[in-house]
Structure 1
Amino acid sequence: MKLKQSLIVALILSIIGLTSWELFWRSQGYYPTLDDNKDLWAVQRAKLKTLTNQDVVLTGSSRVLFDIQLDAWEEETKKRPLQLASVGSSPLPIFHDIVETTDFAGTIIVGVTPTLFFSTTYPLADPWRRTQIRADFHHERTYAQRLNHHLSIPLQNSLAFMINYEERGYADEINLRGLLQKVKIGNRIKNDFPAFHDFGDIDLDRNMKMREKTVTDTAFANSIIRVWGWYATAFPPPDKASTMPFFVKDAKKFMARGGNLILLRCPSTGGFRMGENAVSPRKDYWDELVAQTKAKAYHFEDYEQLKYLDCPEWSHLSVKDANYFTKELVKIMKADGALSHSKTN
C-alpha cells in the first residue's frame, strides 16, 4: 500500500514539475518546434528511391531551404519537390551521394551559396562534415533509430522544453549543455561566438519558413547578422581548386545518364552580398561553374522581378518574399523549358 502511495505521489510531482517547466519556457517566448536533424533529413532522403524522372529534388544550403517554399512550388507545378537542402553546409556531399548511390535521373536543383559551395572538400571541415554525416546516416540508420525518431515527433510538436538542436551553437537550446553555457563563472574564458538564435520553423517534409520576428524585430535580425559577420572572419578562403572539379565531375555523370541539373543562385543583400562579391566574384565562381557544367542556371541578379528582393538578415527571404520568389522562379524555369524534363531511363 505504501509503495502504491509513493508511486502516486511521485507521478503527481513529476506532472507538476514537467508542467511548471513547460509553462516557464513558454512564458519566455519559446514554443514547440521540430529540430531539423539528420533523422528528419533521412526520412526525406529515403523517398528519393520512389521518385520518377518527372520529379524535382532540391539540394543546397539554407537559402534553398528558406527561399523555396514547397506549397508555392506545388501550386505552380502540381508536383511537390523533395527538400534535401541543409543549413550551414556544402551541397557537394549530398549531390555526390545521389549521383553515386542512386539511378535517379529526374531534376536536381543545386543551390549555390558561394561561401559554402566552394568552401572545401576536406572531410573534417564543418561545411562538408555536416552534410556527409546526413548522407551516411541515411544509409546506416537502424530500425531502432527510425522508431525513436517517429516517437519523438509528437513530443517535439507538443513540448517547448524539448528544443534540442543537433548542431551546437544555437542560443535557444533548452538542455543541460545549452543552459550551462549561459552560466557565468568567475573569469572563465568567454566564447566570442555571438548568440545565434534559430530564426526558422520547419515542417515534417522539411518546408522551412522564416520566423516573423526576423522581419519585424530589427534587433533580432541584427543578432543574426552579427553571426554572419563572425563567420566572415572565421571561415577560410574558398577552395575553388578542389570543389569545382569535384562537383563538375558529378554533374557530368548525372547529366550523362539523362539527369536534368539546374544551378540556382538565391538572393543575398547588404554586407553579406558585399562580402560575397569581394571573396567570390561572380565571373570567377558562378560564371565559371556554369560554363564548366553546361547546366541550366538561374542567378537572381539576372531577373528584374528577383534582383531587388530584400533579405531581413542579409541571407534569407521572409515567408512572403520566399513564396513570391518560388512562384516567379517556377514561371521563369517553365518559360525556359527547364522543368519539362521527361526523358526515361
Structure 2
Amino acid sequence: MASSISSSEETVHQKQDALPSGLRLTAANRPGMAQPVPERDIPQQPWGAMAIAVTVLLLLFTSLWEWKMRTLELIPGDLGRNTDRWAELRKEIDKRNVPVVIVGDSRILYDSDLDRATQLIGVRPVQLGIPGTSGLPILQDLADDPNFKGVAIVGMMESAYFDLTGSREQKAIDLARWESPSKRGSFLIQRALSHGLAMLDDDYKLSTLIFRLDSDWRQGVKGPRHGVWKPQETGSGGQVWLWRRIEHDRRFSEHIRYIWVHYEVPPEPLDDQIIRNISIGTKVAVDKIRARGGDVVFVRPPSAPDVREVEDRHIPRARGWDVILATTHSNGIHFDDLPAAQNLTLPEGGHTTRACATVFTDAYLRALVGKTAFLHLQLDAPPALSTRNCVPPSLTVP
C-alpha cells in the first residue's frame, strides 16, 4: 500500500511537469511541504560572443577615458595627496638614520626640489610636507621620536602654521603608526596600477568630477568653487610639484588664486593668545630635538604680492615669523631676505613653478648652510642659480 507522502510527491511532480517551461511551483502550490531548490530554465544564448562583446566595449571605453584624462595633463604614477605615501616616508625615520627632514605645508612641499638638494648637500631630504596643514604637529611628532637626531627644515606659511584646526596631519601621523592590512594592500594595488593608468588620479575620479558640476546651486552649501581641484603632481621618492597644468592654464591658476585670497586666509588679525600658544609649543618641540643632538631651522617660502597682502593682514612677519625664531632661538631664512629668490614665477600666487622651485631650493639651502652644522655644501656642488634661471628674460626684473 503506497504511503500518503509518496502520493503527495507524485501529485506535486505531476503538477510541476504540467507547468509551462521556465515556470516553477511557488510556496502557495505546496502547503505544508518543504521548499525545494528553485528551478529555472536558462535560455540558450551566444554567451561566448556576448562575453567577447562586453570585454571589447570595456577596453574601448577604458581606453577612451584614459586618453581623455591624459589630454588633461594627468600622468601615470601620480598618487596625488595620498596620505599612505606620506606614512611610508615617515616610517623611514624609524628604519634608518635620516639626517635631513622637511616638514610644513604645501609651500615648502611644492617649492623644494629634492634632486637639487641632493646635489647641494649630499643627502636627499625626507619630504614630510602635507598640503593645507600646519607643520607644528609633524615637528612635535619628530620631537617625540627618539630615532630622529637630524635637522628638521620647517616650512612656514604663517596662516597655515598658526592654524591647528585641521585634522589631516594627525590622521597622517596615526596612519604612519598603524596601518590595517586591507588599507596597506589597497594602496599597494593602487600604486602598481597607477604606473600605467593616469585615470586613477583621485582628483579626477568620476564621483569627484560629478561633484564639481554643482556650481554652488544649493543655498548655504559649500560647492566645488571653494576647493582646489588638483593642486599637485606627485613623483617618485617624495618629490611633489605644483601640477604642471596650473603653470599655463589661466582658468585653473586664477581659480586657485581666488581661493587663496578670499577663503584660505582669515581676514581678521590672529589672536595674540594663539600666537603665544603656538610659539610655546614650537619651543618645546625644538628643545626636545636639540636635546638629542639634532637641530631645527625655518624657511618662509614666497608669496605673490596680492596673496602676501592678505596673509600679512592676518599675521604679519613681525607677529609670526619673527616671534617663532626669537622664542625658539632658531635660525631661519625668509624669502624677503633671499636676493636669488625674488620675483619668482608663482602661477596661482602661492607656489612656484617647478623650474623656480629648483631656484628657490638652491637659494634657501645655500643660505641655511651657514645657519646649522647639519648642512654642508658639497665641494662639487653645481653653480648657484638665480631668478633668471627660471623666469623668461622679458619678465625678469633687473
Do structure 1's residue 179 and structure 2's residue 217 form an aligned pair?
A: no
Given the alignment, which residue of 255, 260, 271 partners 1:223?
Answer: 255
TM-aligned CA deviation for residue 198 of structure 1: 1.8
Within a 5 Å distance, the mapping from 1:135-174 to structure 2 comes to 135-165=173-203, 173-174=204-205
Partner Cα separation in structure 2 for residue 291 and residue 244 of structure 1: 9
TM-score by length of 1: 0.85
Whether the 8 Å CA contact 2:266–2:314 is kept in 1: the answer is no
Given the alignment, which residue of 118, 124, 138 partners 1:80?
Answer: 124
Cα distance change, pair 218–338 in 1 and its aligned pair in 2 (3 A): farther
1:131 partner SS: helix
Cα distance change, pair 20–31 in 1 and its aligned pair in 2 (3 A): same
TM-aligned CA deviation for residue 130 of structure 1: 0.9
Partner Cα separation in structure 1 for residue 215 and residue 286 of structure 2: 49
Partner Cα separation in structure 1 for residue 72 and residue 361 of structure 2: 34
The equivalent of 1:19 in structure 2 is 63
Do structure 1's residue 332 and structure 2's residue 367 form an aligned pair?
A: yes
The equivalent of 2:355 in structure 1 is 320
Given the alignment, which residue of 311, 321, 325 partners 2:346?
Answer: 311
TM-aligned CA deviation for residue 338 of structure 1: 4.1
1:203-231 CA deviation, whole Å, 9 max, x = no partner?
A: 13221122344333444321210111232
Cα distance change, pair 87–154 in 1 and its aligned pair in 2 (3 A): same
Within a 5 Å distance, the mapping from 1:272-311 to structure 2 comes to 272-311=307-346
TM-aligned CA deviation for residue 88 of structure 1: 0.6
| Count of residue pairs the alignment pairs up | 326
The equivalent of 2:286 in structure 1 is 251
The equivalent of 2:171 in structure 1 is 133
Within a 5 Å distance, the mapping from 1:203-242 to structure 2 comes to 203-232=235-264, 238=270, 239-242=274-277
Partner Cα separation in structure 1 for residue 104 and residue 89 of structure 2: 15
The letter of the residue matching 2:287 is K
Over alpha carbons, which structure has the higher Rg? 2
Whether the 8 Å CA contact 1:333–1:339 is kept in 2: the answer is no
Worse overlay, 87-96 or 13-22: 13-22
1:282 partner SS: coil
The equivalent of 1:92 in structure 2 is 136
Partner Cα separation in structure 2 for residue 236 and residue 79 of structure 1: 41
Partner Cα separation in structure 2 for residue 234 and residue 336 of structure 1: 33
Whether the 8 Å CA contact 1:21–1:161 is kept in 2: the answer is yes
TM-aligned CA deviation for residue 20 of structure 1: 2.7
The equivalent of 1:48 in structure 2 is 93
The equivalent of 1:170 in structure 2 is none
TM-aligned CA deviation for residue 235 of structure 1: 7.3
Partner Cα separation in structure 2 for residue 272 and residue 251 of structure 1: 29
Given the alignment, which residue of 80, 92, 109 partners 1:35?
Answer: 80
TM-score by length of 2: 0.74
Sequence identity (%): 24
Cα distance change, pair 22–92 in 1 and its aligned pair in 2 (3 A): same
Worse overlay, 35-44 or 1-10: 1-10
Cα distance change, pair 323–180 in 1 and its aligned pair in 2 (3 A): closer
1:82-101 CA deviation, whole Å, 9 max, x = no partner?
A: 00001011111111112113
2:153 partner SS: strand
Worse overlay, 8-17 or 133-142: 8-17
Partner Cα separation in structure 2 for residue 66 and residue 28 of structure 1: 20
The equivalent of 1:169 in structure 2 is none
Whether the 8 Å CA contact 1:195–1:223 is kept in 2: the answer is no
Partner Cα separation in structure 2 for residue 269 and residue 300 of structure 1: 11
2:202 partner SS: coil
Partner Cα separation in structure 2 for residue 195 and residue 259 of structure 1: 38
Q: Which of 1 and 2 has higher RCO (CA within 8 Å, sep 6+)?
A: 1
TM-aligned CA deviation for residue 175 of structure 1: 2.5
The letter of the residue matching 2:236 is L
TM-aligned CA deviation for residue 107 of structure 1: 0.8
1:339 partner SS: coil
Unaligned runs of 5+ in 1: 166-172
Cα distance change, pair 195–110 in 1 and its aligned pair in 2 (3 A): closer
Cα distance change, pair 132–181 in 1 and its aligned pair in 2 (3 A): same
1:158 partner SS: coil
TM-aligned CA deviation for residue 293 of structure 1: 0.6
TM-aligned CA deviation for residue 242 of structure 1: 2.5
1:316 partner SS: coil
Cα distance change, pair 302–234 in 1 and its aligned pair in 2 (3 A): closer
Cα distance change, pair 273–234 in 1 and its aligned pair in 2 (3 A): closer
Partner Cα separation in structure 1 for residue 259 and residue 50 of structure 2: 50
The root-mean-square deviation of aligned C-alpha atoms, in Å, is 2.6
Whether the 8 Å CA contact 1:268–1:315 is kept in 2: the answer is yes
TM-aligned CA deviation for residue 102 of structure 1: 3.5
1:119 partner SS: coil
